[in-house]
Amino acid sequence: MRSIRVHNASAHGFTDLSVANVAFGSLTSGETSEYRRVSMTFRYAVVKLTADGRSITGQTLNLGAQRFTYRIDIVDLDAGQLAIEVVREE
């Protein structure tokens, strides 16, 4: 099990946010979630969210840390393109 949190680095609010099938709920622009325990058996995690009524799905790598933050930005809302930075924490 890993502890992860999500930071919304975009100008859009997120709803229905989940990472690796763990619900994170809604995050306003600039907001960071609380840590959640997530079981990640693969080297990647699926990120799902809704922004401005558009459903977006992306993937991110699991870098092996036990605790980290995903900084998620929307690069192109119409194309559903995300930029996800993984910030490892000790």
Going by C-beta distance under 8 Å and a sequence separation of 6 or more, which residues neighbour residue 26? Answer: 13, 14, 15, 16, 17
Any idea which residue has 């009524």 for tokens?
A: 53
Distance CA 33, CA 43 (A): 22
pLDDT at residue 50 in the model: 97
pLDDT at residue 62 in the model: 67
Whole-structure pTM value: 0.91
Low-confidence ranges of the chain (pLDDT < 50): none
> What is the DSSP track for the chain?
-EEEEEEE-SSS-EEEEEETTEEEEEE-TT-BPPPEEE---SSEEEEEEEETTEEEEEEEE--S-SEEEEEEEEEETTTTEEEEEEEEE-
pLDDT at residue 73 in the model: 97
pLDDT at residue 45 in the model: 85
